A and B are shown apart, each in its own frame.
Chain A
Amino acid sequence: GAGVSQSPSNKVTEKGKDVELRCDPISGHTALYWYRQSLGQGLEFLIYFQGNSAPDKSGLPSDRFSAERTGGSVSTLTIQRTQQEDSAVYLCASSFGDGETQYFGPGTRLLVL
């Protein structure tokens, strides 16, 4: 079946603008994760959803970052007042349940000018 999809694949924005990144998890997967990967670095955990609730938001770097999930499916990561240090690849993953294998999407490459 279809894997995790993310949109847009690339986003260029100006400093101070807001951006929304979308993740469509694999159908039936209840758990959804957002990560960030800076150039040449490992992945940094941002937030985790189980269903529509987010029991772990510990990785969100600042209050400019927020995320929501509706209908137990699609998730949106919003970055307000973007800064140049927000430039990175934002990866979404989903899993069938808590602790199960995570399947990653292709990521959204964000560049803040």
Chain B
Amino acid sequence: LAKTTQPISMDSYEGQEVNITCSHNNIATNDYITWYQQFPSQGPRFIIQGYKTKVTNEVASLFIPADRKSSTLSLPRVSLSDTAVYYCLVGRNTGRRALTFGSGTRLQVQP
């Protein structure tokens, strides 16, 4: 399994753009990159998934360079409600059933 490395914590202010980078040097050809968000006392929530280049949805953007050894989750104009732990996961979209979560990045948004 590809191991992921991401910052333990980040601080930001409301209205700013937040970029969280995840390193996954051993990513395999068939692996996808997925990000989950977890609020206190809740289960993780799927945010976005990508394979290469850029993916955007109503919540976030995911930037993946050509070598795919890292990825960056971009949250535009964060609000206090974006305070959460963000997990980067790497794995196959099929065949690998369980998700392997690291320690995640704890994002604290200040007013």
Contact = CB atoms under 8 A, between A and B. Distances in A.
B43 A104 contact: yes
Interface residues of B, number: 21
B92 A4 contact: no
Given A41-B103, A42-B87, A98 B43 contact: no
Given A42-B87, A42-B102, A42-B103, A48 B97 contact: yes
A102 B46 contact: yes
A73 to B, nearest CB: 18
A93 B42 CA distance: 12
A55 B97 CA distance: 10
B16 interface: no
B98 A4 contact: no
A101 B46 contact: yes
B111 interface: no
Contacts, number: 57
Interface of A is mostly: strand
Interface of B is mostly: loop
A104 B45 contact: yes
Contact of B95 (A91, A98, A102): A98
B41 interface: yes
Interface in A11-52: 31, 33, 35, 41-45, 48, 50
Contacts of B101: 35, 42-44
Contact of A4 (B41, B43, B96): B43
Contacts of B46: 101-103
B96 A106 contact: no
Interface of B: 41-46, 49, 87, 92-104
